Amino acid sequence: MTMTDDSTLKVSVLRLGHRVDRDKRMTSHLGLTARAFGADEVILSGDDDPTPIETWKSVTSRFGGQLSCRYEGKPMKWLRSFSKSGGTIVHLTMYGKSWNEITDKIPLEGEVAVVVGGTKVPGELFGLANYNVAVGNQPHSEVAALAVFLNSYLGPREPGDFPGGSVSVVPSDDGKILVTNEDQ
Ligand code: SAM
C-alpha cells in the first residue's frame, strides 16, 4: 500500500492480452516500469507465462520494495468484480481524454487498477473504466504510457521507497556504484 498524506492507496497494474511468443520483453519491461514508478501490484493476463512474473519477483528481491505479482486467468471478470466492490479503473488508451486534464481528478485513495493492453482490448473496458486516459492521442507503447501516467499520478519516487533489497544503487556522476546491503 502506498501511503499518501491522509489516506491509503493501492495501485495495481493489469496487463491485458500477454502473448508468450511476442510480448515477453515488453511485458517484463511493463512490470518493471510499474514497480519503478510506484505501483503496488502487477497482474498478468493472457498467456499464462511464468517468465515475466519471475523477472518482477527477482528484481524486487534484489532492488527492494514490496511489489506483489500474480497471474489472473479471467481479467474482465476480475475487473467487473473490482468495479462492483468500489475500485477505480483507469484504462490507458490513445482514444481517451488527455492525462493532462484527467490525472488530478483520479482519487489518490482506495484501490486503483491501471489497465494496459497488448493486442486489441475488449470494447467493454471503455465503459467499465472510470477514466479512459490518453498519453497523447497517437499510438505508441504501453510502457511509455504507463511511465508518463504513473509519474504524473503518484509523483516521483524517493530512494526510501524501495527498502529491503539485497543491493542498492548509489547515484553517481561518473560511474556504476552498486552496494550490497549487509543486513539482508
Ligand atoms: N493494437 C492495439 C489496438 O488496436 O488496440 C493497441 C496496441 S498498443 C501498443 C498497446 C497498449 O498501449 C494499449 O492498449 C494502451 O494501453 C497503450 N497505449 C498505446 N498508446 C497509448 C496512448 N497514446 N495513450 C495511452 N495508452 C496508450
pLDDT in tens, 100-151: 999 999 999 999 999 999 889 999 999 999 999 999 999 999 999 999 999 9
* Residue 2 is assigned to a structural domain of this protein: no
**How many domains does the structure of the chain reveal?**
1
Distance of CA 43 to the CA centre of its chain: 8
* Residue 4 is assigned to a structural domain of this protein: no
Q: What is the mean pLDDT of the chain?
A: 94
- Check if 90 has its Cβ closer than 6 Å to any atom of ligand 1: no
* Residue 157 is assigned to a structural domain of this protein: yes
Spatial contact of 76 and 45, defined as CB atoms under 8 Å apart: no
184 falls in which pLDDT band (50, 70, 90)?
A: low
Q: Which residue's CA is the nearest one to ligand 1's atom 21?
A: 94
* Residue 3 is assigned to a structural domain of this protein: no
Spatial contact of 177 and 169, defined as CB atoms under 8 Å apart: yes
- Check if 136 has its Cβ closer than 6 Å to any atom of ligand 1: yes
Spatial contact of 101 and 133, defined as CB atoms under 8 Å apart: no
pTM for the structure as a whole:
0.94
Nearest by Cα to 27 from 16, 41, 37, 38 = 16
Residue the block writes with cell 519477483: 57
* Residue 48 is assigned to a structural domain of this protein: yes
In a mutational test of the pocket of ligand 1, which residue from 93, 138, 141 has the highest number of ligand atoms less than 8 Å from its CB? 93
Give the structural domain span for 108. 9-183
pLDDT in tens, 7-57: 599 999 999 999 999 999 999 999 999 999 999 999 999 999 999 999 999
d(CA 178, ligand 1 centre) in Å: 35
Q: Which CATH number is 21's domain given?
A: 3.40.1280.10
- Structure-block grid coordinates of residue 51: 517468465
